[in-house]
Amino acid sequence: MFNEKNLVQKRNRFSQILAAVLVNSVYEMRNYPIVLINTVLSPLSFLLVIVFVSQGALLGDAIVGGFIMSMFSAGAALQGDLSHLKNDFKLQDMVVSSPTTWQIYMFGMALSEIAYSLPALFVLVILAHYFMALTLIGALELTGVLVLIFLTSVAIGFTLSTFSSDIVQSFAFSRLISTLFSTIPPVYYPLTYVPLPYRYLAYLSPTTYAAELAQNAAGYLTLSSTTMALDWIILIVVTVTLFIIARNKARWREI
């Protein structure tokens, strides 16, 4: 029964992706429900602070910020999770020596991070439905920005995971990039709130461009078509560049 040869003639790619989603999000959320609360609370906590401080004036901006932070944190978390599974459980070594390719593994792991963020995204969608007046074009634009910012953070997370060799280091990296790219930059509030000399610093973060585009899509900011085009180009170039770096730096098989 266990000695069958050529049993699996055709590998099920969907199963291989599903494995990553199950291991890195579904089983964890099912067996440790506390992580569900954490994943919901993290982006909503900033949203609440901004709403309270602005006395409700920045509710829409804060919801947009919540979306961006959720997506960016999801991708950035990939770094800690990959490192954890590789170094502490040797799971990645087992997968390397299996018919799964690195592309499938990475795609599955990235999807698992989205799955992990679904509770937070669900709450944000409900809030957006009631408190934001998104047009269809605006919603599509917002979705595009969120996909791009997720891909950017996945590339950052993936690259950094190849540098860290233990869990303390990798979670420190994870927290650092989350703070640098989604908490400090003007993600939860308009860029115009940042005093001018520091505004240029904010433009060092890809999340600033994403927030600008998202706030524009939601109608909280009016960007000129040139600025919009520039923001899209920068965001796409940053994402592609980070993916190229990740592809060149990362090693599925060690040397």
Partner 1 sequence: MVKSSREVVCDHLTKIYGKSKTRALDSLNFTLPSQGIFVLIGRNGSGKTTLVRILATELEPTSGSASINGIDVVEEVRKLREKIAIVPQEARPIPWMTPLQTVLSYLLWRGFDYGRAKTRALQSLERLGLAESANMLNRSLSGGMRRKVMVATVLSSEAEIIFLDEPTTGLDPISRREFWEILRTIGKERFTFLTTHYLEEAEQLADRIGIMDGGKLIRVGTLEELRKSVNYEYSIRILSPGHNFPALKNGEVVIGTAGDIRILTIENEAFKISRELTKRGIKFTINPVSLDDIFFYLLSRKGEK
From 68-76, 86-94, 141-149, 186-194, give the range in contact with partner 1 by CB under 8 A: 86-94
Helices 206-217 and 59-83: crossing angle in degrees, nearest 10, is 140
Dist CA 74 CA 218 (whole Å): 22
Dist CA 62 CA 56 (whole Å): 10
Q: Which of 39, 70, 100, 152 binds partner 1 (CB under 8 A)?
A: 100
Dist CA 45 CA 81 (whole Å): 23
Give CA separation, 128 vs 63, 117, 132, 225, 253, in Å: 7, 16, 5, 25, 43
Per-residue binder mask for partner 1 (CB under 8 A), 42-71, x = binder: ------------------------------
From 28-36, 47-55, 175-183, 218-226, give the range in contact with partner 1 by CB under 8 A: 28-36
Establish if 163 lies at the interface with partner 1 (CB under 8 A). Answer: no
Establish if 253 lies at the interface with partner 1 (CB under 8 A). Answer: yes
Nearer to partner 1, 129 or 253 (CB): 253
Q: Which of 130, 133, 198, 254 binds partner 1 (CB under 8 A)?
A: 254
Q: Which of 38, 53, 57, 90 binds partner 1 (CB under 8 A)?
A: 90
Picking from 185, 162, 166, the residue whose alpha carbon sits closest to that of residue 242 is: 162
From 14-22, 42-50, 119-127, 159-167, give the range in contact with partner 1 by CB under 8 A: 14-22
From 44-52, 56-64, 95-103, 219-227, give the range in contact with partner 1 by CB under 8 A: 95-103
Nearer to partner 1, 94 or 172 (CB): 94
Establish if 97 lies at the interface with partner 1 (CB under 8 A). Answer: yes
Establish if 31 lies at the interface with partner 1 (CB under 8 A). Answer: yes
CB of 6 to partner 1, least distance (A): 8
Dist CA 103 CA 242 (whole Å): 16
Let me know the angle formed at the C-alpha of 207 by 52 and 199, rounded to the nearest 5 degrees: 75
Dist CA 50 CA 169 (whole Å): 31
Dist CA 168 CA 207 (whole Å): 25
Nearer to partner 1, 61 or 81 (CB): 81
Dist CA 236 CA 223 (whole Å): 18
Give CA separation, 198 vs 100, 191, 201, in Å: 46, 10, 5
List residues near partner 1 by CB under 8 A. 1-8, 10-13, 15-16, 18-20, 22-23, 27-28, 31-32, 85, 89-91, 93-101, 105, 253-255
